[in-house]
Amino acid sequence: MKNKNQIKLFNDYKIRADWDEEKEEWYFSVVDVVGVLSESKNPRRYWSDLKIKLKNEGSQLYENIVQLKMLSPDGKYYKTDVATTEQILRLIQSIPSSNAEPFKLWLANVGKEHLDEIADPQLAIERAISNYRKKGYSENWITQRLKTVEFRKELTAEWNRAGVKEGVEYAILTDEITKAWSGLTTKEYKQLKNIKKENLRDNMSDVELVLNMLAEVSTTQISKVENPEGFHESKIVAKRGGSVAHDARKSFEKQTGGSAITSRNAYEPELLDVQKSTKKKK
């Protein structure tokens, strides 16, 4: 089963999803869907109780639930109960919810969007731009953010060539790059910005995005030149690539008198403003 983790948005809810290329079918995190339908503060507990009920009822839905590794807030991948669109529609019948009908329409639209994007990949880019605009991001920020996606793909392609395993090893190398240029692990960076499940890059300022891109581009280029093999050699390269952006960050801060790293996140309008120097002129 070939899968690729994605995040789908239903209103303000984030739903983890995987597209199975072989079966041409979506698999959705059941816990995330249950959270939408039940609006429970503890969707995992709700799903646990519901599973017992379904099992006792001899429901085929319970018997057919499978697990896939999905990304968790801590940046690691864990086996997660997932369900197909058809199974989710049956699950909806078991949970009284005001979101039931809107969610059914959402499921249908997710399926249509993917088929459209396969036929025309440009649609995926346009949809991402539209979503960022709705959230209030500036055009300059959106341009930078789309570039990060392009450079990230080049980096992961290089890691794949080197034999780095997707998932945990990708996360560790990303953490090494982030720490090398910013002085913070990914977890610490998120804590600084007071975010948990949100994408760190979506909460970076223009300056932070540029420095992070420099770190990843540098890592990619060093890797292409030196051809490391495996995770451990790639880890050394990741630190070196991140150090290039670290030097640029220090130079920026020296010239501007301000910090390149900000605690602001996407929920604060001033995130998109270039950080103003807090250094008093003598």
Label residue 111 exposed, middle or buried (CB < 10 Å: 0-12, 13-18, 19+).
Answer: middle
DSSP, collapsed to helix, strand or coil, labels residue 7 as strand
Give yes or no: residues 176 and 211 share one domain: yes
- Sign, CA torsion 236/238/244/247: negative
pLDDT of residue 21: 65
- Stretch 121-145: mean pLDDT: 76
Residue ending a domain, among 49, 84, 119, is 119
Residue 93 CA to residue 205 CA, distance in Å, equals 43
> Do 176 and 237 fall within a single domain?
yes
Q: Which range among 125-129, 167-171, 245-249 has the greatest average pLDDT?
A: 245-249
Q: Which residue has the higher pLDDT, 174 or 19?
A: 174
Structure tokens at 46: 């709700």
CB 235 within 8 A of CB 262: no
Q: Which structure tokens are listed for 19?
A: 């597209």
Cα–Cα dist 92/28, whole Å: 13
Average model confidence (pLDDT) for the chain?
83
Same domain assignment for residues 115 and 143: no
Kindly report, residue by residue over 222-256, the tens digit of the pLDDT: 999 999 999 999 999 999 999 999 999 999 999 99
265 near 203, Cβ under 8 Å? yes
Strands 13-20 and 77-84: unpaired
Q: Do 155 and 265 belong to one domain? A: yes
Neighbours of 41 (CB within 10 A): 8
132 inside domain: no
pTM over 0.75: no
| Exposed/middle/buried for residue 115 (C-beta within 10 Å: 0-12, 13-18, 19+) | exposed
Give me the number of domains the chain comprises: 2
Report yes or no on 131 lying in a domain.
Answer: no
268 with 142, same domain? yes
Segments forming the whole domain that contains residue 42: 5-119
Which of 92, 119, 146 is a domain's end point? 119
* C-alpha pair distances (Å), 276 with each of 81, 258, 259, 281: 46, 6, 8, 13
Residue 58 has pLDDT above 90, yes or no: no
What radius of gyration, in Å, describes the C-alpha atoms of the chain? Answer: 21
Quick one: pLDDT at residue 192? 93
Return the minimum-mean-pLDDT range out of 57-61, 91-95, 137-141, 271-275. Answer: 271-275
Q: Are residues 11 and 104 in the same domain?
A: yes
Pairwise CA distance, residues 235 & 239, whole Å: 6
pLDDT band, very low/low/confident/very high, at 182 (cuts 50, 70, 90): very high
Min mean pLDDT across 39-48, 132-141, 166-175, 185-194 is at: 132-141
Rounded Cα distance, 188 and 194, in Å: 10
Tokens linked to 250: 């220090």
Greatest mean pLDDT among 32-41, 217-226, 266-275: 217-226
Residue with tokens 């390269």: 237
Q: In the structure encoding, which two tokens stand for residue 242, read together? A: 């991140």
Give the Å distances, CA to CA, from 191 to 18, 78, 203: 27, 22, 12
Of 50, 84, 119, at which residue does a domain stop? 119
Q: Position of tokens 């499940």?
A: 197
Q: What is the reported pLDDT for 280?
A: 39
Spatial distance between the Cα atoms of 197 and 13, rounded to a whole number of angstroms: 11
Assign 120 a pLDDT band (cuts: 50, 70, 90): low
